[in-house]
Amino acid sequence: MGLELLKAIVEGPEAMALATVVAVKGSAPRHPGTKMLVSAAGTLGTVGGGRGEARALEACGRCLEDGRSALLHVEMVGEDIAGPDMVCGGSSTMLIERILDRAPYRAALERLERGERVLFAKRLEGGAVQVRLLEQGDERPRFDPEAGLFHDPVLPEEKLLILGGGHVAQALAALAPGLGFAVTVVDDRPEFVAEGRFPAGVRTVLAGFEAAVAAFPFDPATYAVILTRGHLLDLACVRAVLARPYRYAGFMGSARKTRLVIEQVLKDGCDPAKVASLCGPIGLDIGAETPAELAVAILAELVAVRRGAPILPSLQRARESRRA
């Protein structure tokens, strides 16, 4: 659930049903937390397409008719590839929710617009879903079937600040919007933020890097990627970014350069915990060389951070080993 869907719930027609994937087993097309909103105006979002989504649409239709919320279980364990049953190899459980009280969604929208994460607690009781907002909790969706309780974290709009407008920045800015990032590219050279260098919708800023970091609206949903043309500029950017709140911060460079930068900002007196959170060398180690490959490696790491992927601890250990 993002800003668009929340706005649709808050501002939409009276009768709406929300299908949310709350649990999966085995292979399923979408992960827990995926949503589809259904009303007389149409649908927004998808829970995976195909027969599974068709069943969700039918369930939402029934929900709109009788006003009752329910759980929907979709099995995808058919054995005949030529038969009608789904053969993904897993199952999916969806919460079909009749939207009744919009106040929690309105409050969640206000938090997201401030760059804060939101955690919904939803409990199915007697054909209705009770919705509350929690102050803190799990980073990932969690469903307790016995209690009928679903914890559903929602991300705010995520901002990607790219410091440096070179070839890797071009490739990164071309791919990142498709993953839901609002992209800003900063460079202090006019030709590197010239009109037409980056795709439409990517914001460009001509400014000194430290000034740009100071002016940028950092929040807990900000990802900062440092790709400047030299180690001194990288160091200045790292110092500036460490003074701001962020979800992710990383910079490109060799293991040796990364180690030297980290040692310097520690000598500067920067918060050791924030320094430890820096990602460098940036990106997953997939042997990337070209700008496009490097952009893929960086974005893979950003998605891993977004999803709280299990790979993150081992990734950090490998990074620290390379820097040693």
- The answer on 135 and 100 residing in a single domain is yes
- The answer on 278 and 194 residing in a single domain is yes
- The answer on 291 and 146 residing in a single domain is no
CA dist list (Å): 58 to 53, 91, 95: 9, 18, 13
- The answer on 166 and 142 residing in a single domain is no
Which of 138, 154, 170 finishes a domain? Answer: 154
In the chain, how many domains are there? 2
Residue 316, helix vs strand vs coil = helix
Output helix, strand, coil percentages for the chain, rounded to the nearest 5: 35, 25, 35
- The answer on 287 and 204 residing in a single domain is yes
Residue 17's pLDDT is what?
Answer: 97
Which of 104, 136, 154 finishes a domain? Answer: 154
The pLDDT tens digits along the chain (324 residues) read: 577 889 999 998 889 999 999 999 876 767 889 999 999 889 999 998 788 889 999 999 999 999 999 999 988 654 433 344 444 557 899 999 999 999 999 999 998 888 788 899 999 998 999 999 998 766 678 999 888 899 998 878 899 999 999 999 999 999 999 999 999 999 999 999 999 999 999 999 999 999 999 999 998 889 999 999 999 999 999 999 999 999 999 999 888 898 999 999 999 999 999 998 899 889 998 999 999 999 999 999 999 998 888 888 888 887 777 666
The conformational region for residue 59 under phi > 0 = left, psi -120 to 50 = alpha, else beta, is: alpha
Q: Domain containing 309 — which CATH number?
A: 3.40.50.720
Gap between the Cα atoms of 113 and 3, Å rounded: 8
- Of 99, 131, 125, 133, give the one whose Cα is nearest residue 11: 99
- The answer on 301 and 228 residing in a single domain is yes
Residue 27's pLDDT is what?
Answer: 66
Range of the domain at 190: 158-323
**Residues forming beta bridges with residue 144, ordered by sequence position:** 149
- The answer on 317 and 219 residing in a single domain is yes
Gap between the Cα atoms of 249 and 224, Å rounded: 5
- The answer on 107 and 194 residing in a single domain is no
- The answer on 15 and 136 residing in a single domain is yes
- The answer on 45 and 92 residing in a single domain is yes
- The answer on 103 and 215 residing in a single domain is no
- The answer on 189 and 143 residing in a single domain is no
Which of 136, 154, 172 finishes a domain? Answer: 154
